[in-house]
Amino acid sequence: MSAALVETRGLGKSYPLVFRSADRLRALWRLLVGHRNADSVAVLSDVSLRVERGQSLGLIGENGAGKSTLLKLLTGVLTPSAGSVTVDGRVGALLELGAGFHPEYSGRDNIALAAALYGLSAEETRAKLPEIVAFADIGRYIDEPVKHYSSGMTVRLGFAIVAALKPDLLITDEVLAVGDESFQKKCVRWMEEYLDAGGTMILVSHSMYHVQKLCRQAVWLKAGQVAASGDVYAVTQAYLAYQEGKSAASAARAPAAQNLEFHLLDLAVNGSTEDVAAQIDVGAQVRIRVRVHSRDGRMPVVIVGIARMDGTPVYGVSTEMDGVTPHRESQNVYAAEIVFAGLPLLPGAYVIKAHPLDSEGVRLFDTLERGLTVRGESREFGLVRLTHAWHECADAVPDRKAAP
């Protein structure tokens, strides 16, 4: 086993319960006399993980699960209440917006300050300055105080500094959730190049698409504890299934759906109606079966669609469009099945959606969704893999300047 760049064992972090001034004094007194665990709340508990050089780890979980606290423990911003943390290498961290920046200093001055903290000499800093300024691309604001920056500009500057310094370990906390789309794409391209060159990364994100795209391993934190860890697809699918279950429970769709003119009974993907995301390889077949309850026995129109996990539509079709009649299983139950043979989706996270409409195809009544992960490796762009072939150009293009 190779040496770990990051390792935590039984890591925990607790904070004293302090709501009033008297609570603070009481907590301080108990710390002074050695009662460290009295009247405290645990934010993290028994977190053990190991990240080796060259690995990429996604850290996922709901707000308040302890992700940011864990990152602060890894970077030394906080000290643990229990367990240990070891980091063997230079860390480049993008945590809270503006963390590490002096608000009164200009962007250019903050670059020099950050470079000095990373151990760069004045000559090395001057050599890297044009690269950092170009990557940040914030124009004249590079000479303005950072306190005048927007959140997107702050992230641009912070990421530009980290990109130029190329740390042994890159730690990012929702950096891809801030800023415009073009800069997010620039960040993703840089991260991919950084990882291809042997870099190590811990990425915190609520976007399962980015976690699956950039990471090979994942850890799911739930209420300060590790709920699941391992292969990125297995962990993210478990997390998405948990979220889908919560959404279904909170919506209480079953009692309400019974009163609809049409409501969905179930959605089966490749024969499974379980509320977990299906996993397929690129080009595999997907069979989708939808069952609809019709209150008055009328035949519904069934729509099936596929979208990216970020909501981008990929494809949708209905029984009415294709002239298909749903099969009548009983007086009030209809079923429709569609098969996508050799689904050409590129690797990534998707969602399958099903809806019943009235017989006229005008009113939509209900929705069921199921996650779909397409596994594989690809350097192609877009959402789908189109059948294509490159052909050799048989004839050279004639010289237009040549005389006839």
What confidence tens digit (pLDDT) does each residue in 85-96 have?
998 888 888 776
Do 311 and 326 form a contact (C-beta atoms < 8 A)?
Answer: no
Do 372 and 269 form a contact (C-beta atoms < 8 A)?
Answer: yes
Do 88 and 137 reside in the same domain of the chain?
yes
**Taking residues 175-184, what's their average pLDDT?**
71
252 pLDDT band, cuts 50/70/90, is very low
Report the percentage of the chain scoring pLDDT > 70. Answer: 84
Q: Where are the alpha helices (DSSP H) in 274-358?
A: none
Across the strands, what pairs with 82? 12
101 vs 255, higher pLDDT? 101
Query: For residue 99, what are its two tokens?
Result: 């963390």
Is residue 380 in a domain? no
Is residue 126 in a domain? yes
Do 259 and 224 reside in the same domain of the chain?
no
Q: So what's the pLDDT on residue 333?
A: 94
Q: So what's the pLDDT on residue 319?
A: 93
Identify the weakest region by mean pLDDT among 100-104, 285-289, 350-354. Answer: 100-104
Do 260 and 340 reside in the same domain of the chain?
yes
The answer on pLDDT for 97 being more than 60 is no
Distance CA 186, CA 96 (A): 20
Do 161 and 305 reside in the same domain of the chain?
no
Query: For residue 250, what are its two tokens?
Result: 């909170």
Residue 157's closest CA among 195, 109, 196, 200?
Answer: 109
Look at residues 179, 211, 240 and tell me which one is the last residue of a structural domain.
240
Q: So what's the pLDDT on residue 166?
A: 83
**What would the pLDDT profile of 191-226 be if each residue is shown by its tens digit?**
889 999 999 999 998 888 788 888 999 999 998 999
Across the strands, what pairs with 68? none
The answer on pLDDT for 25 being more than 80 is no
For the full predicted model, state whether its pTM sits above 0.75: no
Q: Is 54 exposed, middle or buried (0-12, 13-18, 19+ CB in 10 A)?
A: middle
Is residue 47 in a domain? yes
Q: Which of 8-17, 76-85, 332-341 has the highest mean pLDDT?
A: 332-341
Work out the mean pLDDT of the chain and round it to a whole number: 83
Count of C-beta atoms within a 10 Å radius of residue 98: 17
**Taking residues 113-139, what's their average pLDDT?**
87
CATH code at position 127: 3.40.50.300
Is residue 390 in a domain? no
**Segments forming the whole domain that contains residue 350:** 255-375
20 pLDDT band, cuts 50/70/90, is low
34 pLDDT band, cuts 50/70/90, is low
Decide: helix, strand or coil at residue 137. Answer: coil
Do 23 and 163 reside in the same domain of the chain?
yes
The answer on pLDDT for 249 being more than 70 is no
Identify the weakest region by mean pLDDT among 93-102, 111-120, 251-260. Answer: 251-260
Distance CA 159, CA 201 (A): 14
Domain count, the chain: 2
Q: So what's the pLDDT on residue 338?
A: 96
1 pLDDT band, cuts 50/70/90, is low
Taking every pair of Cα atoms in the chain, the longest distance, rounded to a whole number of angstroms, is 101
Do 29 and 146 reside in the same domain of the chain?
yes
Do 262 and 312 reside in the same domain of the chain?
yes
Is residue 137 in a domain? yes
Query: For residue 51, what are its two tokens?
Result: 């990240």
Distance CA 161, CA 108 (A): 11
Residue 377's alpha-carbon distances to 131, 277, 346, in angstroms, are 31, 19, 8
Q: Phi-psi region for residue 172, left (φ > 0), alpha (ψ -120 to 50) or beta?
A: beta
Across the strands, what pairs with 280? 374
Do 91 and 75 form a contact (C-beta atoms < 8 A)?
Answer: yes
Identify the weakest region by mean pLDDT among 113-117, 142-146, 254-258. Answer: 254-258
287 pLDDT band, cuts 50/70/90, is very high
Q: Is 106 exposed, middle or buried (0-12, 13-18, 19+ CB in 10 A)?
A: middle
